[in-house]
Amino acid sequence: MRTLNTLIGQPMERVEDLRLLRGKGTYVGDIVREGMLHAVIVRSQVAHGRIKGIDISAALSLPGVHAVITSADFGGTTPRVPLRLQPLPQLDSFHQPMLATGKVRYVGEPIAVVVADSAAIAEDAHDLVHLDIEALPAVTDRASAEAPAALLFDEHKSNAALTWYAKKGDAAKAFADAPYTRKERFFVQRHAAMFMEPRGFVAEWDAATSKMTVWGVAKVAWANQRILAAALGVAPAQVEMIEVDVGGGFGSRGEFYPEDFLIPFAARHVGRPVRWIEDRREHLMTANHAREAECDLEIAATRDGRILGLRGAAFTNHGAYIRTNGSVAPRNIAQFSSGPYRIDHIDITATMIVSNKTPSGTYRGPGRFEGDFFRERLLDIMAKDLGIDRVEIRRRNLVTDAEMPFRLADITPYDHSDELDSGDNPELLDRCLADFGWTEKAKLAGKLIDGVYHGIGIGCFIEGGAAGPSEDARFVLETDGRISLYMGSAAVGQGIETIMAQIAGDALEVPFERITVLHGSTGHVTNGFGSYHSRSTVMGGNAILAAAEKLKEKIRTVAAAKLGCSAVDVTLDGEQVRAAGKALTLAEVAADAPIEAEGTFHNHKHTYSYGTQAAHVTVDAGTGHVAVVEIASIKDCGRMINPLTLKGQAIGSMVQGLGGAFLEDLVYNADGQILTGSFADYLLPTASCFPKLRASVIELKPSPNNPLGAKGAGEGEIVPVGGLLANAVANALSSLGVEPNELPLSPPKVWALVQAAKKSN
């Protein structure tokens, strides 16, 4: 009987969870190689300074120490971390050396690597390395970056690395003719991804074959393979990157850091396998930070609330260097600050500032979280000025289904044009309002009940996905009839072992249980681009469809030879192959040798999920404490593969957004010393913080840009949270005149806003 699968769209539990919850996962700490040594990184304790000397003699004399590596061991040229995304030559000066040379530019910058028999011995030797560093003035914010007293890169003559320009229409004319304009300054604090276990690597050099093997890669193994090979001076084929289990990535894990080179270099240098695992203090100091941005944003509109134009100047604090994906957030702030709204005239710049802080990169919803905060706050302020309901302001300006595809602003200097692919934004707005019970809850707005003020907020968003240019998938029909699926997509917690098996099961019409998904390692497929920009399901899933068709063709060819007929006469019927009244099982077809097929999906058009969130909060004006009573979220992601895992992604994304809105803040002092170096100081959401979150994900408008009709969907719910909660707090404290235009909305900051409002009134 023919098996007709309907796995896509089913709420299937994640198959990988059984392994992980039973403690059977394989993390970097579980990798042990014969003769393995341990590495510890010697890091700068000075934010900005000239290196006058490095004395490693005492460390080398400690028993059990095999090497103390400095830049002098690189043979005269210190490799640097290149840009993976938007590799503009204007940013070449700001690439990070693998070990500091001449200058240090942030606390935590690697200066040397100690390799020893144990991590404990390496730590002891670390303390014996003497660094002579002449301190220089520290640059920590925009004001000090613009002061001439301190330049991070003398040859550049400025601490402004690059400016992005987003333009559409004629903003100058739109503002000149507009009957209403409003300009406000906004700020989002520095915070970052906090995955469950820190980063780490095990590297092993095989001198006989001149091959480097690295365990611990994530996210973009093929890109990192090429970067590492170039830095080591070998061919990419001589480097194998092996993915292990990780406790989340969120944009930060898996980018190329100095340690990605230093540990493999150390392994080749000492001729032994080397393992390095960072501690949490190192993670807070050295893994990519994110978000820190300020913006002067101005809106132009008619008196009935129709948006005419948006313009502004944003400044992002990127820390000491521009690392692999450091340009993404400022580019997104500039290009996507219009969100899901019909704005025909746009002129926004985003300037990248370097400072003596940890380098910045991507974090779930990069640039979109910041841009949505700026815009959604400004929309509420505009609604108040014009005396128009803030829901109605949004409804009048949301892009409709009939207007799709809708062009966004063009971005330069890395020239790019983009457009929203499909969607019915007003429909989702109305669905969210109904689910939330907006009409009834609006009656609570601004009321003081039992000592706390009640407020409600609204926010709309888009989520970009499906970054190209391609992705690969490879099927192997094993001799026992089972099917192995090898993916270029990487697993960073999004459940691809389950999702990809659902797609493959439907494509091949075989039972889900017969498919094993392997992912993220460079030996699996010819090429791969990994997991970022909400691309795994769209790019990897459609690569599966391409590979499945090729596998079917090969199965027909092999079966035809065994059945004595033409391949065109062979019919695939679930787990059987039929022709001329005869049948073979898949195991019988592949009995002589496995049958393989690889497919590639090429794509240069992005997908755009979209949605709306509504929130109800209470605010204690006496303490500044904000309590989240309820949040309702709804998003259309095109065709859904697995509603259960997708909802989990949505809730997790919202919680991370709430952490950024209320709790998380990487604080530095004026000397560039990080003051939030542990979880005692850097606060994170816990399971009890936000108990009443609801997320709905629906299929309304599939993407026309790929055969599956799917859209990226792992980041959307984090995007509107900052603006949403700030709007709700402003609504709660409207009688006091509080306008929160900075994050985080921590109790001290909200209390200070209340006090300032009372004084001004």
Three-state SS annotation for 230-286 = HHHCCCHHHEEEEECCCCCCCCCCCCCCHHHHHHHHHHHHHCCCEEEECCHHHHHHH
Strands 346-353 and 406-407: unpaired
For residue 270, which amino acid is it? V
**Which H, E and C letters describe 404-451, residue by residue?**
CCEECCEEECCCECCEECCCCHHHHHHHHHHHHCHHHHHHHCCCEECC
Q: How far is it, in rounded angstroms, from Cα 343 to Cα 297?
A: 14
Q: How far is it, in rounded angstroms, from Cα 209 to Cα 240?
A: 12
pLDDT of residue 239: 98
Omega before 744 within 30 of 0, i.e. cis: yes
Domains 31-136+198-246+253-286 and 293-466+605-760 share a fold: no
Element (H, E) at 477: strand 470-477
Place of tokens 């994050």: 743
Residues 6+ apart with CB under 8 A from 128: 58, 59, 62
For residue 720, which amino acid is it? P
Domain extents in the chain? 16-26+467-602, 31-136+198-246+253-286, 293-466+605-760
Q: What's the rounded mean pLDDT across residues 368-392?
A: 98
Global confidence as pTM: 0.96
Q: Which fold has domain 293-466+605-760?
A: Aldehyde Oxidoreductase; domain 4 (3.30.365)
pLDDT at 541 over 50: yes
pLDDT at 4 over 60: no
Contact 128, 60 (CB under 8 A): no
pLDDT at 271 over 50: yes
The structure tokens listed for 700 are: 């309304």
- For 46-76, how does the pLDDT look when each residue is reduced to its tens digit (9 = 90+)? 999 999 999 999 999 999 999 999 999 999 8
pLDDT at 581 over 70: yes
- For 435-485, how does the pLDDT look when each residue is reduced to its tens digit (9 = 90+)? 999 999 999 999 999 999 999 999 999 999 999 999 999 999 999 999 999
Place of tokens 């002098």: 72
Q: How far is it, in rounded angstroms, from Cα 244 to Cα 20?
A: 12
pLDDT at 33 over 80: yes
Q: How far is it, in rounded angstroms, from Cα 337 to Cα 368?
A: 7
Q: How far is it, in rounded angstroms, from Cα 636 to Cα 21?
A: 30
Q: Which of 362, 215, 353 shows the shortest CA–CA distance to 287?
A: 362
Residues 6+ apart with CB under 8 A from 581: none
Place of tokens 């003081």: 448
The model's confidence at residue 761, banded by pLDDT at 50, 70 and 90, is confident
pLDDT at 573 over 90: no
C-alpha triplet 748, 754, 755: angle, nearest 5°: 90
CATH architecture assignment, domain 16-26+467-602: 2-Layer Sandwich (3.30)
The structure tokens listed for 721 are: 């949270």
pLDDT of residue 574: 81
- For 170-188, how does the pLDDT look when each residue is reduced to its tens digit (9 = 90+)? 999 999 999 999 999 999 9
Higher model confidence: residue 21 or residue 761? 21
| One CATH from 3.90.1170.50, 3.40.190.170, 3.40.50.1000, 3.40.190.10 for 31-136+198-246+253-286 | 3.90.1170.50
Q: How far is it, in rounded angstroms, from Cα 753 to Cα 374?
A: 18
The structure tokens listed for 259 are: 């340690």
Comparing 3-12, 197-206, 300-309, the range with the smallest average pLDDT is 3-12
The model's confidence at residue 5, banded by pLDDT at 50, 70 and 90, is low
Q: What is the largest CA-CA distance in the chain?
A: 92
Q: How far is it, in rounded angstroms, from Cα 745 to Cα 753?
A: 10
The CB-side HSE value for 666 (13 A sphere, CA atoms) comes to 29
Q: Which of 224, 255, 249 shows the shortest CA–CA distance to 359?
A: 255
**Average pLDDT, whole number, for the chain?**
96
